[in-house]
Structure 1
């Protein structure tokens, strides 16, 4: 078995960032492997999320806040100044494309091929060739051509997804994993500092998974036995990181 990492956001902003990061990973996976029509699900999910909410202003604020904090860290002793400078450079570069007023993905709404597919993809079993002959035609193209199309489509979201990846990297870097034990399958913690993310690393050989709940100053972790789908009554050793 192997160690699995579970994450629980403690505020809506990090919750949104994690969802976008998850979709970004699916996009990358689809770009490297031919998954046929399944490649459209994360793409259309991103379209819908970006239409519901304009993340640009929130991301720009977070970039500015982190640049100020990184600038303060530069003045401290015993810090990795090279890594800090790399983050400052990466965040500064990622900020530039977000200065444009247009929402990410807006131009894809004008793509007639994608619009026709998107209307159908929400319906069960509606991707048959008689429903979407244009999809049947596109899937018959060589993978290299389809890969180029897909790369063009996801490029519309990169100005948003790239800085979010950097911001989540910085969030995760605020805390290291420490040893912890859940007695009778339960662990509770609190923090005087506002937290944004709880991370649990657990050996899958335990045969259980954590369900995590909480808010910025307090959190609780219940471990559930997978086979029985019920709360574990065993003491479980795991690794815990609480990120600011």
Structure 2
């Protein structure tokens, strides 16, 4: 099964982009080759570009607090398991406290490092991080893998509370909706949203069908048009009925 996600607003779009970069970073930093560690470091630079918004940290803190207050209202609900509720509340408190404790602008420690900024300036140029352009960086790449890993982990550490917070927020958002089985007749599906506000859409379908969803939405209407890929990889309209699961997520 393949899960496609579609953000309904710019805030969730930013969080999903950062999550995608974070997944790439975790993969490459845990490899051992110098080229893979180069990608991990370049991914941190990409994170700074996306996370540069000054209000991202405050947005996450407000959302964590809102989720905390919302969950506290469930304490009196007999259907709620107290231990599970307390575990989520404790996680919210821990993540929020760590984010509050993260001083300064996101990634300021990297911006203050002239050596890292010199590398960042060269990586935006195709082939700009060659050994003859950055001999000190090339020398660092020759160090043992564990030493390179420790350096990258140290540079990333001040960013960790932000990514812990956005990971928790996105997890709670994904858990907020339940999947509903749908069928797109002749490859097309529409649904009236009647002005109800959603944050994100999740669409799950069997990969063996070979269908690719093209999604668009506003507060009134949701459209899904399924396509397929031929040998030239160009999307082509799919005229078959397509079964899928639709999840509309909202805090």
**Cα distance, 1:95–1:217 mapped onto 2, change above 3 Å:** farther
- Which ranges in structure 1 are unaligned for 5 or more consecutive residues? none
- Which ranges in structure 2 are unaligned for 5 or more consecutive residues? none
Answer yes or no: is 1:148 the counterpart of 2:150.
yes
More off after superposition, 128-137 vs 185-194: 185-194
After superposition, what is the alpha-carbon deviation per residue over 1:67-126, rounded to whole angstroms, capped at 9, x for unaligned?
A: 111111222222233222111111111111332451221111111221111001111111
**The one of 165, 168, 174 aligned to 2:167:** 165
Q: Given the two structures, how large is their TM-score scaled by the length of structure 2?
A: 0.91
**Cα distance, 1:166–1:37 mapped onto 2, change above 3 Å:** same
- The 5 Å alignment of 1:75-86 reads 75-86=76-87
**The one of 174, 179, 182 aligned to 1:180:** 182
Q: Given the two structures, how large is their TM-score scaled by the length of structure 1?
A: 0.93
Distance 2:78 2:42 in 1: 47
Runs of 4+ in structure 1 displaced over 6 angstroms? Answer: none
Answer yes or no: is 1:69 the counterpart of 2:63.
no
Cα RMSD of the aligned pairs, angstroms, is: 1.6
Q: CA deviation at 1:171?
A: 0.5
Equivalent residue number for residue 243 of structure 2: 237
Equivalent residue number for residue 205 of structure 2: 202
Equivalent residue number for residue 29 of structure 2: 31
Q: CA deviation at 1:52?
A: 3.9
Distance 1:165 1:119 in 2: 29
CA contact 1:10–1:214 (8 Å) conserved in 2: yes
Structure 1 residue matching 2:41: 3-state secondary structure: helix
Structure 2 residue matching 1:237: 3-state secondary structure: strand
CA contact 2:99–2:165 (8 Å) conserved in 1: no
Q: Number of aligned pairs?
A: 242
More off after superposition, 206-215 vs 95-104: 95-104
Equivalent residue number for residue 121 of structure 1: 123
**The one of 105, 108, 112 aligned to 1:106:** 108
Distance 1:52 1:63 in 2: 18
CA contact 2:29–2:37 (8 Å) conserved in 1: no
Structure 2 residue matching 1:74: 3-state secondary structure: coil
**Cα distance, 1:80–1:182 mapped onto 2, change above 3 Å:** farther
Q: CA deviation at 1:217?
A: 4.5
Distance 2:81 2:221 in 1: 31
Q: CA deviation at 1:155?
A: 1.0
More off after superposition, 114-123 vs 132-141: 132-141
CA contact 1:5–1:202 (8 Å) conserved in 2: yes
